[in-house]
Amino acid sequence: MIVPRYTREIPHRYRLEAGRCTGCGYLAFPRRQICPECRGREFEGVNLKPEGTVLSFTVCHVAADCFATETPFAVAVIETMVLAYTHYREPGEAFRQTLFHVISCMTSTGFTTTDFSVWPVFLPTLLVFVGFVGGCGGSTAGGIKVLRVVLLFRNSLLQVRRLFHPRLVASVKLGERMVPQRIMDGVWGFFALYVAVFVVLMLAVMSTGVDQVTAFSAVATCINNMGPGLGEVSANFVPLSAGVKWLLVLAMWLGRLEMFTILVLLAPALWRV
């Protein structure tokens, strides 16, 4: 067989042909020998859609000897619908699963319909960060709360404006009402305390020998009262030691009572009164 014909018959080069596991439906591109989900070995060919988004590209003018006659040629990184073409057969199913898990993580419901820890690229970590945002103010959801995140974002934009206009006199607004500086100080204080407690607890968990991904997600899911995690706690917290579980109980306690309540209870001035 001549070289050009051999090259053109490689499925994933000219036809964007992926492999779908016949056992669980996992979609892999290029086709794999073993399914990472069910460890199956039988795959069927699936032609992917030719549309995508060009994330980055370059034009090569100097290449290896075997490609010297092809210069200049373009090389591009193209993004397709990640979940639709790697885990789910239909884009609608990928959207439904994504929407459900985002709502579940933000509202601290803790329900999952699939193991999102095996989702590709940054998606599992993104869901963990969504849990930090949490629900709306006054709700029973965990996290920092949407209202605080909005105030932090708007105050940050205001500080950037003051860099360009040092004499600017303005306040953060929520709707048509100005937010008093005392409230903004409280929001920034809560955020700083939240980050400090998270970092200390994560380092304490890591000091017991737990890997970084597991420690990060375990503390995040507990302090946000979220539920799902990554790494060793993607399914449950059984693999963790009793000492680590007590640290995570502390994280859940601090997260549920929103930090300041604990500080008030531990303040000597409160008991003297």
pLDDT per residue, tens digit, the chain (273 aa), is: 555 555 556 655 556 677 778 877 777 777 777 777 777 778 887 776 666 777 778 888 887 776 778 788 787 776 655 455 555 556 677 778 778 888 888 887 877 777 777 676 678 888 888 888 877 877 777 788 888 888 888 888 888 888 888 888 788 887 788 888 888 888 898 889 889 999 999 999 898 888 888 888 888 888 888 887 888 887 778 888 888 889 988 888 888 888 888 878 877 777 776
Cα-based angle 57, 59, 63 (whole degrees, multiple of 5): 125
CA distance 12 to 43: 14
Q: Which residue has the tokens 């963790």?
A: 240
What is the number of residues in the chain?
273
Q: Strands 27-28, 43-47: parallel, antiparallel or unpaired by DSSP?
A: unpaired
Cα-based angle 178, 180, 184 (whole degrees, multiple of 5): 110
Per-residue pLDDT at 14: 58
Q: From 112, 105, 113, select the one nearest 142 (Cα to Cα).
A: 105
CA distances to 38, 43, 116, 147, 248 from 227, rounded to whole Å, are 25, 34, 12, 22, 12
CA distance 154 to 55: 30
Q: What is the DSSP string of 30-80?
A: SPPSS-TTT----EEEEEPPS--EEEEEEEESS--GGGGGG-SEEEEEEE-
Per-residue pLDDT at 246: 92
Helix (H), strand (E) at residue 190: helix 181-206
Both tokens of residue 40? 């199956």
Spacing of C-alpha 68 from chain mean position: 42
Q: What is the amino acid identity at position 238?
A: V
- Asked if 132 contacts 126 with a C-beta cutoff of 8 angstroms, the reply is no
Per-residue pLDDT at 202: 92
Per-residue pLDDT at 13: 56
Backbone angles phi, psi at 224, to 5 degrees: -95, 0
